[in-house]
Amino acid sequence: MTDWKIRRAPTIQTELEVPGDKSISHRAVMLAAMSNGPCVIKGFLPSEDCMSTVGAMRALGVEIEVADETTLIVHGVKRAFTAPKHEIDCGNSGTTMRLMAGILAGQPFRSRLIGDASLSKRPMRRIIEPLTKMGAKITAEGKDGRPPLVIQGGNLQPLQYVSPVASAQVKSAVLLAGMFAKGKTSVTEPTQSRDHTERMLEYFLVRPQKQGLTVSIFGDQTPESREFRVPGDISSAAFWLVAAAAQPRSRLLVKNVGLNETRTGVLAVLVRMGAAIREVIEEPQAEPIGVIDIQGARLKGTEIKGAEIPNVIDEIPILAVAAALAQGKTVISGASELRVKETDRLAAVAMNLRAMGAQVAETEDGLEILGGVPLHGARLESFGDHRIAMAFAIAGMFAEGETTITGTACVNTSYPGFYATLESLMRPPTEAQTRVITSLPTR
Ligand code: S3P
């Protein structure tokens, strides 16, 4: 089904889990593939984006077994990849293309990376520039540094790179290339972006050094094969968190979710907006895993800007929906990166919110939303962007009348089971669910 029909939903009183973290699933496959033996990856996200990374690694001669839907056994090749026999299709996944470019920059062979129509419009100069400085030869076949990319790698020099963008993808591409350079490669970012690559390198016993906003790595190290557990994706949880936060009598528990503090900005924003939230880290491993307990409220507007932006970069569409449901004004600024995601997310959010009756002004690098105007159902486009589809499905749960979201197949890039959970929340909570939730301590 590619169109979703959404209607106003009852109060949420339930607990749920979300599928594995997308960023972490990509990195787990890549680091395991570089390691010196078999690695079992549990909780892997079997979405289209992460399967693009699996396909890319298989094309480089890595054996990857699918033990069950969320468990992979990746047979590490000790960084000795073989030349691909065909081009590598990254699908819709920017993380696959940019991080694989880092790895391929270190390989003594030629490879060609392609992507779908959306990925083919995304900027790649941000990784071409540092990887070229390290010695790789990269040609962007698209206009203005856009994909496809042809990479002839090998013989890399280490680099001290000061990145102009706070991008975990740029940082990771340079660090992964640095694994194949002789000597110390460093990346300094303008503000902290998600730090999964650094944490996971550490976990796989390749020691990165961190000082302030600079991460360094010594090349020629092989990750040690180990089992790894991927936590639930807080960016997927964010849709349900907002659905609960914006309804005064709602209560939601999200279990087994990643609580890495470079990703939990969405919780801080929702607390500022008035929700009551408790987070408990249960497994403080490489990637902390725990529970989020949220109680809804009459939300109020807030400001989202500056160093907080990279932490909530993927949550801005759903936070904009929260802002439309809140009383007062919300100002989001410093978020121009949203214009070069799977679609121009600032334009898409503004257009869809307006179609539902909200008051929104689009600025060059953000949005100004005057919340509290009742939303009405509308026929909305996903713009081929999974996070736009899901954010507006949640908006539909609060709207008068029916909301239709078109072009929802893109949701399979990050959250294949989203609609099944949405349907379950459109039904009133069962007695058993209510009993579990009302037995929890209130705050
Ligand atoms: C990601 C980093 C972010 C994020 C993307 C995943 C990653 O992109 O938006 O969904 O896995 O490193 P940028 O690093 O380009 O900001």
> Which atom of ligand 1 approaches the CA of 314 most closely?
9
Q: What is the pLDDT of residue 119?
A: 98
* Confidence grade of residue 392 (pLDDT, cut at 50, 70, 90): very high
pLDDT single digits (tens) 252-263: 999 999 999 999
* Confidence grade of residue 432 (pLDDT, cut at 50, 70, 90): confident
Mean pLDDT, to the nearest integer, of 224-229? 97
Q: Would the CB of 313 count as within 6 Å of ligand 1? A: yes
Q: What is the pLDDT of residue 430?
A: 77
Percentage of residues in the chain having pLDDT higher than 90: 94
Q: Which residue's alpha carbon is at the smallest distance from atom 4 of ligand 1?
A: 314
> Which atom of ligand 1 approaches the CA of 172 most closely?
12
Q: What is the pLDDT of residue 443?
A: 60
Q: How far is the CA of 186 from the centre of ligand 1 (A)?
A: 19
> Which atom of ligand 1 approaches the CA of 170 most closely?
14
Q: Would the CB of 23 count as within 6 Å of ligand 1? A: yes
Q: Would the CB of 402 count as within 6 Å of ligand 1? A: no
Comparing 6 with 2, the larger pLDDT belongs to: 6
Mean pLDDT, to the nearest integer, of 306-319? 98
Beta bridge partners of 409: none
Q: Would the CB of 163 count as within 6 Å of ligand 1? A: no
pLDDT single digits (tens) 296-312: 999 999 999 999 999 99
Q: Which residue's alpha carbon is at the smallest distance from atom 10 of ligand 1?
A: 314
Query: Where do we find the tokens 């468990």?
Result: 71
Which one, of 334, 324, 322, 317, lies nearest residue 410 by Cα?
A: 317
When the pLDDT of each residue in the chain is averaged and rounded to a whole number, the result is: 96
Residue 24 burial (CB count, 10 A): 30
pLDDT single digits (tens) 117-162: 999 999 999 999 999 999 999 999 999 999 999 999 989 999 999 9
Q: Would the CB of 319 count as within 6 Å of ligand 1? A: no
pLDDT single digits (tens) 232-252: 999 999 999 999 999 999 999
The domain made up of 4-20+231-438 is a member of CATH 2.40.40.20 = no
- CATH topology identical between 4-20+231-438 and 22-216+225-229: yes
Q: Please determine, for residue 53, whether its predicted confidence score (pLDDT) is greater than 60.
A: yes
Alpha-carbon distance of 243 to 393, in angstroms, equals 10
> Which atom of ligand 1 approaches the CA of 99 most closely?
12
According to the 3-state scheme, what is the secondary structure of the chain? CCCEEECCCCCCEEEEECCECHHHHHHHHHHHHHCCCEEEEECCCCCHHHHHHHHHHHHCCCEEEEEECCEEEEECCCCCCCCCCCCEECCCCHHHHHHHHHHHHCCCCEEEEECCCCHHHCCCHHHHHHHHHCCCEEEECCHHHCCCEEEECCCECCCEEECCCCCHHHHHHHHHHHCCECCEEEEECCCCCCCHHHHHHHHCCCCCEEECCEEEEECCCCCCCCCEECCECHHHHHHHHHHHHCCCCCEEEEEEEECCCCCCHHHHHHHHHCCEEEEEEEECCCCCEEEEEEECCCCECCEECHHHCHHHCCCHHHHHHHHHHCEEEEEECCCHHHHHCCCCHHHHHHHHHHHCCCEEEEECCEEEEEECCCCECCEEECCCCHHHHHHHHHHHCCCECCEEEECCHHHHHCCCCHHHHHHHHHCCCCHHHHHHHHCCCCC
Mean pLDDT, to the nearest integer, of 327-338? 98
Q: Would the CB of 169 count as within 6 Å of ligand 1? A: yes
Q: How far is the CA of 172 from the centre of ligand 1 (A)?
A: 10
Q: Please determine, for residue 103, whether its predicted confidence score (pLDDT) is greater than 80.
A: yes
Q: Would the CB of 59 count as within 6 Å of ligand 1? A: no
pLDDT single digits (tens) 358-379: 999 999 999 999 999 999 999 9
Reading phi first (left if > 0) and then psi (alpha if -120 to 50, else beta), residue 151 is in: beta
Q: Please determine, for residue 325, whether its predicted confidence score (pLDDT) is greater than 60.
A: yes
Q: Which residue's alpha carbon is at the smallest distance from atom 11 of ligand 1?
A: 23
Q: Would the CB of 92 count as within 6 Å of ligand 1? A: no
- Parse the chain into domains and list their residue ranges: 4-20+231-438, 22-216+225-229
Q: Which residue's alpha carbon is at the smallest distance from atom 16 of ligand 1?
A: 167
Q: Would the CB of 187 count as within 6 Å of ligand 1? A: no
Q: What is the pLDDT of residue 429?
A: 75
* Confidence grade of residue 285 (pLDDT, cut at 50, 70, 90): confident
**CATH topology for 22-216+225-229?**
UDP-n-acetylglucosamine1-carboxyvinyl-transferase; Chain (3.65.10)
> Which of 45, 53, 92, 95 has most ligand 1 atoms within 8 Å of its beta carbon, as the pocket-test mutant?
95
Exposure string (b/e) for 208-245, b if CB count within 10 Å is 16 or more? beeeebebbbbbebbbebbebbbbbbbbbbbbbbbbbb
> Which of 21, 23, 49 has most ligand 1 atoms within 8 Å of its beta carbon, as the pocket-test mutant?
23
Catalytic site positions: 314
Q: Would the CB of 337 count as within 6 Å of ligand 1? A: yes
pTM over 0.85: yes
* Confidence grade of residue 438 (pLDDT, cut at 50, 70, 90): confident
> Which atom of ligand 1 approaches the CA of 26 most closely?
11
pLDDT single digits (tens) 340-349: 999 999 999 9
Q: How far is the CA of 310 from the centre of ligand 1 (A)?
A: 9
Q: How far is the CA of 227 from the centre of ligand 1 (A)?
A: 24
Q: Would the CB of 167 count as within 6 Å of ligand 1? A: yes
Q: Please determine, for residue 271, whether its predicted confidence score (pLDDT) is greater than 90.
A: yes
> Which of 169, 200, 230 has most ligand 1 atoms within 8 Å of its beta carbon, as the pocket-test mutant?
169
Q: What is the pLDDT of residue 437?
A: 73
Q: What is the pLDDT of residue 1?
A: 56
Q: How far is the CA of 395 from the centre of ligand 1 (A)?
A: 24
> Which of 163, 194, 338 has most ligand 1 atoms within 8 Å of its beta carbon, as the pocket-test mutant?
194
Give Rg (Cα) of the chain.
21
Question: Which residues, including other chains, have CB under 8 Å from residue 70's CB and lie 6 or more apart?
Answer: 19, 20, 42, 43, 44, 45, 46
**Residue 293 in tokens:** 């307990």
Contact by Cβ (8 Å): 4, 28: no
